[in-house]
Amino acid sequence: MTVTADGPLPSTPYDVAVVGAGVVGCAVARELARHPRLRIALVEAQDDVGQGTSKANTAILHTGFDATRGTLEARLVREGYQRLSAYAAETGIPVERVGALLVAWDEEQLAALPGLAAKAGRNGCHDTVLLGPGELYAREPHLGPGALGALHVPGESILCPWTTTLAYATQAVRAGTDLHLDTPVRAVERTADGHRLTTGRGILHARHLVNAAGLHADTLDRALGHEDFTVTPRRGQLLVYDKLARPLVRHILLPVPTALGKGVLVAPTVYGNVLLGPTAEDLHDRRATETTADGLAALRDQGRRILPALLDEEVTAVYAGLRAATEHEDYRITAHPGQAYVTVGGIRSTGLTASLAIAAHVTGLLAGTGLDPGPVRELEPVAMPNLGEAFPRPHQRPDLIAADPEYGTLVCHCERVSRGEIRDALAGPVPPRTLEGLRRRTRARAGRCQGFYCGAAVRDLFERGRSAAEPKGDRA
Amino acid sequence: MTAARRVDVLVVGAGPAGLAAAARLALAGAGRVEVLEREARPGGVPRTCAHGGFGTWTRPLTGPGYARLLTEAAERAGATLRTGVTALDWAAAGPVLTVVGPGGPETVEARAVVLATGARERPRTARLVPGTRPAGVYTTGELQRAVHLFGQHIGTRAVVAGAEEVSYAAAGTLRAAGAEVVALVTEHPSAQAGPARAQAARLRHGIPLLTGTTVTELLGHGRLSGVRVRHRDGRTAVLACDTVVFTGDFVPDHELARRGGLAMDPGTRGPAVDGSAHTSRPGVFAAGNLLHAVEPAGTAAREGARAGRAVLDHLAGAPWPDPGVPVVVSEPLRWIAPNRVTPAARPGGHVLRTGVPLPHPVLYVRQDGRLLHRRRLGPGTAHPNRTLTLPAHWHDRVDPEGGEVRVSTD
Q: What is the pLDDT of residues A364-411, one digit of tens each?
A: 999 999 999 999 999 999 999 999 999 999 999 999 999 999 999 999
Closest Cα in chain A, distance from residue B167 (Å): 15
Statement to judge: residues B215 and B262 lie in one domain: no
Return the residue of A nearest to B247 by Cα.
A452
Question: In angstroms, what separates the C-alpha of A452 from chain B's closest C-alpha?
Answer: 4
Rounded CA gap, B289 and A394, in Å?
A: 31
DSSP-derived 3-state class of residue A37: coil
From chain B, the residues in CB contact with A296 under 8 A are: 128, 130
Could you give all domains of chain A from N- to C-terminal order, each with its CATH number?
Answer: 2-55+162-228+328-368 (3.50.50.60), 100-154+232-325 (3.30.9.10), 394-470 (no CATH)
Residues B343 and B243 both lie in one domain: no
Could you tell me the sign of the dihedral formed by the alpha carbons of B355, B356, B362, B367, in that order? negative
Residue B408 dihedral angles phi and psi, to the nearest 5°: -140, 175
Of A34, A43, A125, residue with least CA distance to A362: A34
The Cα of A244 is separated from the nearest Cα of chain B by a number of Å equal to 7
Write the burial class of residue B83 (CB in 10 Å: 0-12 exposed, 13-18 middle, 19+ buried).
middle
**How many C-beta atoms surround the C-beta of residue A139 within 10 A?**
15
Task: Choose among A290, A292, A452: nearest Cβ to B120.
Answer: A452
- The answer to whether the CB of B38 falls within 8 A of the CB of A413 is yes
Higher per-residue pLDDT: A338 or B56 = A338
Instruction: Judge if B157 and B243 occupy the same domain.
Output: yes
CA dist., res. A105 & res. B14, Å (int): 49
Going edge to edge, which strands form the sheet with B325-329?
B340-341, B325-329, B405-408, B362-367, B370-376
A152 is catalytic: no
What number of other Cβ atoms are within 10 A of residue B303's Cβ? 30
Interface test with A, best of B100, B144, B148, B224 (most A CBs within 10 A): B100
> How many C-beta neighbours within 10 Å does residue B379 have?
6
User: Cα–Cα distance between A255 and A265 in angstroms, integer?
Assistant: 6
Interface check B217 vs A, CB under 8 A: yes
Across the A:B interface, residue pairs with CB atoms under 8 Å apart total: 118
Closest chain B residue to the Cα of A408, Cα to Cα:
B102
Give the Cα separation of B278 and B320 in Å (integer): 8
Same domain for B131 and B215: yes
Q: Name which of A385, A346, A48 is nearest A215 in CA terms.
A: A346
Please tell me which of the candidates A315, A316, A398 has its beta carbon nearest to residue B104. Answer: A398
* A282-295 per-position pLDDT tens digit: 999 988 899 999 99
Q: Alpha-carbon distance A360 to A354, whole Å?
A: 10
Residues in CB range of A215: below 8 A, 6 or more apart: A52, A53, A231, A233, A286, A322, A324
Asked if the model's pLDDT at residue A237 lies above 70, the reply is yes
Residues B358 and B341 in one domain: yes
Residue A259 has pLDDT above 80, yes or no: no
At A470 the pLDDT is 64
**B238/A contact by beta carbon, under 8 A:** no
Domain that holds residue B408: 323-410
A405 has a chain B CB within 8 A of its CB:
yes
What is the pLDDT averaged over residues B195-214? 91
User: B130 in contact with A at a CB cutoff of 8 Å?
Assistant: yes
- DSSP string across A143-202: SPTT--EEEEETT-EEE-HHHHHHHHHHHHHHTT-EEE-S--EEEEEEETTEEEEEETTE
Q: Residue A166 in contact with residue A27, Cβ under 8 Å?
A: no
- Test mutation, A47, A279, A449, A466, chain B, max B CBs within 10 A: A449
Q: Inform me whether the C-beta atom of residue B274 falls under 8 Å from chain A C-beta atoms.
A: no
The number of helices, as runs of H, and strands, as runs of E, in chain A is 12, 23
> Could you tell me which residue, B203 or B183, shows the higher pLDDT?
B183
Mean pLDDT across B130-145: 97
Task: Give yes or no for A311 touching B (CB within 8 A).
Answer: no
Q: Is B261 on the interface with A (CB under 8 A)?
A: no
- Give the nearest partner residue to A244 out of B125, B135, B255, using CB atoms: B255
Q: Is the backbone of residue B43 left (phi > 0), alpha (psi -120 to 50) or beta?
A: left
Judge if B357 and B258 occupy the same domain. no
- Choose the closest CB to A408 out of B102, B120, B218: B102
| Concatenated DSSP letters of A254-288 | EEPPBTTB---EEEE-TTS-EEEE---EE-S-TT-
Q: Is the Cβ of B141 closer than 8 Å to some Cβ of chain A?
A: yes
Provide the 3-class DSSP secondary structure of residue B86: strand
- Indicate whether B138 and B282 sit together in one domain: no
When pLDDT is cut at 50, 70 and 90, the band that residue A475 belongs to is very low
* pLDDT bracket for residue A476 (50, 70, 90): very low
Q: Is A474 exposed, middle or buried (0-12, 13-18, 19+ CB in 10 A)?
A: exposed
CA-nearest of B243, B46, B248, B237 to B152 is: B243
Tell me: do B129 and B174 sit in the same domain. Answer: yes
Of all residues in chain B, the one with the smallest CA distance to A463 is B152
A13-24 average pLDDT score: 98
User: Does residue B75 sit in the same domain as residue B127?
Assistant: no
* Residue A448 with chain B: CB contacts under 8 Å: 126
Say whether A402 and B104 touch across the interface (CB within 8 A): yes
Q: What is the pLDDT of residue B202?
A: 86
Among B196, B227, B248, identify where a domain stops. Answer: B248
Together in a domain, B285 and B332: no
- Confirm if A394 and B86 have CB atoms less than 8 A apart: no
Chain B positions touching A277 (Cβ under 8 A) are: none
B168 and B276 within one domain: no
Q: Does A396 touch chain B (CB under 8 A)?
A: yes
Count of structural domains, chain B: 3
Identify the CA nearest to A197 among candidates A173, A171, A224, A231.
A224
Q: Which amino acid belongs to residue A474? A: D
Catalytic residue among A62, A180, A208, A216: A62
- pLDDT of residue A190 exceeding 80, the answer is yes
Tell how far CA B127 is from the center of its chain: 17
Report chain A residues whose CB lies below 8 A from the CB of B139. Answer: 449-452
How does the average pLDDT of chain B come out, rounded? 95
Q: Per the CB < 8 Å rule, is A456 touching B145? A: yes
- Any A CB within 8 A of B344 CB: no
Last residue of a domain, one of B228, B248, B268: B248
Q: Which of A92, A57, A255 is nearest to A171 (CA)?
A: A92
Q: Which chain A residues are Cβ-neighbours of B49 within 8 angstroms?
A: none
Identify the domain boundary among B293, B321, B349.
B321
The C-alpha R_g of chain B, in whole angstroms, comes to: 22
Do B112 and B257 lie in a common domain? yes
A456 φ, ψ (degrees, to nearest 5): -70, -40
Rounded Cα gap, residues A407 and A420, in angstroms: 5
What pLDDT is stored for residue A474 in this prediction? 41
Angle at B153 between CA B151 and CA B157, to 5 degrees: 135
Give the DSSP per-residue string, B94-162.
Answer: SSEEEEEETTEEEEEEEEEEEE---EEE--TTTTT--B---B-EEEHHHHHIIIIIT-----SEEEEE-
Q: Which of A55-59, A175-179, A391-395, B305-309 has the lowest mean pLDDT?
A: A55-59
Q: Given this model, what pLDDT does residue A8 score?
A: 94
Instruction: Detail the DSSP E strand segments found in B193-319.
Output: 209-210, 213-219, 226-231, 236-240, 243-246, 250-252, 284-286
Minimal Cβ distance to A453: which of B135, B138, B141: B141
Q: CA B43, CA B101: separation in Å to the nearest integer?
A: 18
| CATH code of the domain in which B80 resides | 3.50.50.60
**B258: chain A residues, CB-CB within 8 Å:** 244
On the question of pLDDT at A469 being above 80, the answer is no
Query: Do the Cβ atoms of B120 and A449 come within 8 Å?
Result: yes
Question: Which pLDDT score is estimated for A39?
Answer: 97
The yes-or-no verdict on residue A465 having pLDDT over 60 is yes
Q: Tell me which residue in A240, A408, A460 faces B100 most closely, judged by beta carbons.
A: A408
Contact, A449 vs A416, CB < 8 A? no
List CB contacts (< 8 A) between A447 and chain B: none
Angle subtended at Cα A246 by Cα A245 and Cα A247, rounded to the nearest 5 degrees: 95
The verdict on a CB contact (< 8 Å) between A452 and B121 is yes
What's the whole-number average pLDDT of chain A? 95
**If you average pLDDT over residues B217-241, what whole number do you get?**
97
Pairing status of strand A232-241 against strand A281-282: antiparallel
**Residues of B whose CB is below 8 A from A289:** 132-133
Tell me what the mean pLDDT of segment A7-25 comes to.
97
B29 phi/psi in degrees, rounded to 5: 75, 40
Amino acid occupying residue B228: R
